[in-house]
C-alpha cells in the first residue's frame, strides 16, 4: 500500500524542464510552490500545439480553426468540472485566477444579496484576496465583517461559529487550506453550520485544488475558486465554480461581447451561465493549458500527491527539530505541505536571502496574510512550500541552508 502511494520524484522532476537548472552555482531547490508552481513539459507543449495548430476565436464563425478552438476551450471546462467533482460543466466560469473569482462573486452576487446591516463571516486565516473584496462590498452596502479566530495551533476555533453566525449572515468565506501556515480547514463542518442560518459559503481553494482530491458537491459549498498557476497550469487562468441556480440569478460581472444574446441601444439580454460571466475573448490558450495540467495531476493522483506532501512535511519537521531556534507555525494534524517558520530572531528576508545564495527558493514576508501575521504576533515568516516534484533531498538542502544562515549570523 505505501509503495503504491509513493511518488517517483526523480522521474517527476524530469517532467519539469525549469527544475534542471542551477541557481547561484547550486542545484535549484524550488520551495515556493504556494506562491506559484512550475509547469511540466506536457503543459508547455499543449500551449505550443494549440498556438501552432488550432488557434482562432471561440464561439464565432464556422471555420475549422474556430470550431477546434471552441472544442478545446469547452473541453477544458468539462475537464475542470470533472477535476473538482462538479456534475455540470456550465457551473464552471473561467476567470484570471482566485482573486478575480472572489471579486466576481463579491460584486455580481454580493451587490444583489448583501444589504445594510447584513454580515459577512470570514476567518483570520484568509489571504487578502478573500478579505479586501468583501471589505469593498461591505463599505458600499453598509454590511459588517466578522472573523473566526484561530487557536494556539492555528486551527479555526469552530466553537465560535454558534455565536458568530446569525440570521444576518449572508455569506461565509473560508480558505480550504491556509497559504500562510498550512492549516487544512474542516470545510464540511463550516458549510453545515452556515446552512443552518441560510448563509452561502465561498471556499477559497487556491491552496487545496493543486494538492488534495476535491469534490465540491460533497463539500456542500456554493462557490469554489482556484488558480491555474499554483497547480502546474498557466498564469492568468483560474476557475470559479458556482451552483447553477446562483449563477442564473446573478447579474453579469462585466459587459461586452460573448456574454449577450440581443443588444439594443438601451438594453441587452444576456446568455446563460457560464457565458454570461465571460465577456470578451476569453483566455482560450491558457484554459487548454490548464486542462493539460489537470490531466497531468490526475494521472499521478491527488491522493498520492497529498500523501507525498504529508510525508515530506513530517520529514521536514523531524529534521528541523534539530535546528536551534527553529519554530514552525501551523497545526500538528491536518497540515498541508506549507511550512512557515521563524528562526530565532532572524529576519525572514535575511533567511530567504541566504537560502537563495544556496539555490533554495522560499518566500519570506507576510504572504498576503497581514491579519494572520498580526494574530500570530509576527510581521513576517519564512515559508517553504512543497509540491509533487520535491523530494527529501530538497528538505535536506533547506536544512543545510538554515544551518548556514545560523552560522552566518552567529
Task: Using CB under 6 A, list all residues that contact ligand 7TS.
Answer: 34-35, 97-99, 127, 129-130, 175, 179, 204, 206-207, 227, 363, 367-368
Nearer to ligand 7TS, 179 or 390 (CB): 179
Question: In the structure grid, which three cell numbers stand for residue 375, read together?
Answer: 494574530
CB of 368 to ligand 7TS, least distance (A): 6
Nearer to ligand 7TS, 13 or 367 (CB): 367
Nearer to ligand 7TS, 70 or 103 (CB): 103
CB of 362 to ligand 7TS, least distance (A): 11
Question: In the structure grid, which three cell numbers stand for residue 352, read together?
Answer: 530567504
Nearer to ligand 7TS, 69 or 131 (CB): 131
* Nearest of 267, 206, 266, 234 to residue 43 by alpha carbon: 234
Nearer to ligand 7TS, 70 or 179 (CB): 179
CB of 134 to ligand 7TS, least distance (A): 13
CB of 127 to ligand 7TS, least distance (A): 4
Q: Mention every residue, 6+ apart, whose C-beta is less than 8 A from residue 134.
A: 106, 110, 120, 122, 145, 171, 173
Residue 148 pairs with which residues in a beta bridge?
A: 123
Give the three-state DSSP class for 200.
strand
- Known catalytic membership, residue 232: no
* Nearest of 82, 97, 145, 89 to residue 117 by alpha carbon: 145
Q: Which residue is nearest to ligand 7TS (CB)?
A: 179
Place of cell 527539530: 321
* Nearest of 114, 107, 95 to residue 132 by alpha carbon: 107
**Cis peptide bond N-terminal to 265, omega within 30:** no
CB of 131 to ligand 7TS, least distance (A): 10
Give the three-state DSSP class for 173.
strand
Catalytic residue among 221, 232, 368, 399: 368
Q: Mention every residue, 6+ apart, whose C-beta is less than 8 A from residue 229.
A: 36, 37, 97, 235, 236, 237
Question: Where in the sequence numbering do the catalytic residues fall?
Answer: 368
Amino acid at each position: 500500500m505505501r509503495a503504491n502511494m509513493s511518488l517517483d520524484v526523480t522521474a517527476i522532476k524530469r517532467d519539469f524542464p525549469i527544475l534542471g537548472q542551477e541557481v547561484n552555482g547550486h542545484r535549484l531547490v524550488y520551495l515556493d510552490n504556494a506562491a506559484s508552481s512550475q509547469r511540466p513539459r506536457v503543459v508547455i507543449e499543449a500551449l505550443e500545439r494549440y498556438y501552432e495548430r488550432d488557434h482562432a476565436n471561440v464561439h464565432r464563425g464556422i471555420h475549422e480553426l474556430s470550431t477546434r478552438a471552441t472544442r478545446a476551450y469547452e473541453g477544458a471546462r468539462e475537464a475542470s468540472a470533472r477535476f473538482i467533482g462538479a456534475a455540470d460543466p456550465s457551473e464552471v466560469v473561467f476567470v484570471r485566477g482566485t482573486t478575480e473569482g472572489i471579486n466576481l462573486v463579491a460584486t455580481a452576487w454580493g451587490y444583489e444579496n448583501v444589504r445594510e446591516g447584513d454580515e459577512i463571516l470570514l476567518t483570520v486565516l484568509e489571504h487578502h484576496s478573500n478579505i479586501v473584496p468583501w471589505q469593498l462590498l461591505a463599505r458600499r452596502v453598509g454590511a459588517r465583517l466578522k472573523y473566526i479566530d484561530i487557536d494556539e495551533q492555528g486551527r479555526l476555533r469552530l466553537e465560535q461559529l454558534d455565536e458568530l453566525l446569525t440570521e444576518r449572515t449572508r455569506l461565509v468565506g473560508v480558505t480550504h487550506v491556509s497559504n500562510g501556515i498550512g492549516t487544512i480547514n474542516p470545510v464540511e463542518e463550516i458549510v453545515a453550520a452556515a446552512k443552518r442560518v441560510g448563509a452561502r459559503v465561498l471556499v477559497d481553494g487556491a491552496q487545496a485544488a493543486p494538492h488534495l482530491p476535491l469534490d465540491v458537491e460533497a463539500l456542500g459549498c456554493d462557490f469554489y475558486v482556484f488558480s491555474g498557476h499554483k497547480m502546474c497550469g498557466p498564469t492568468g487562468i483560474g476557475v470559479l465554480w458556482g451552483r447553477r441556480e446562483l449563477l442564473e440569478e446573478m447579474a453579469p460581472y462585466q459587459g461586452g461581447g460573448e456574454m449577450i444574446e440581443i443588444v439594443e441601444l438601451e438594453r441587452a439580454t444576456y446568455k446563460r451561465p457560464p457565458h454570461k460571466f465571460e465577456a470578451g475573448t476569453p483566455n482560450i490558450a491558457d484554459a487548454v493549458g490548464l486542462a493539460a495540467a489537470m490531466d497531468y495531476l490526475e494521472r499521478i493522483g491527488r491522493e498520492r500527491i497529498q500523501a507525498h506532501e504529508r510525508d515530506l512535511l513530517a520529514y521536514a519537521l523531524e529534521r528541523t527539530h534539530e535546528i536551534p531556534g527553529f519554530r514552525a507555525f501551523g497545526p500538528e494534524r491536518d497540515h498541508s505541505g506549507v511550512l512557515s517558520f521563524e528562526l530565532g530572531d532572524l529576519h525572514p528576508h535575511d533567511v530567504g536571502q541566504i537560502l537563495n545564495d544556496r539555490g533554495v527558493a522560499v518566500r519570506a514576508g507576510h504572504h498576503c496574510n497581514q491579519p494572520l501575521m498580526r494574530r500570530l504576533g509576527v510581521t513576517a515568516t519564512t515559508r517553504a512550500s512543497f509540491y509533487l516534484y520535491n523530494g527529501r533531498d530538497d528538505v535536506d538542502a533547506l536544512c543545510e541552508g538554515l544551518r548556514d544562515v545560523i552560522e552566518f549570523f552567529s
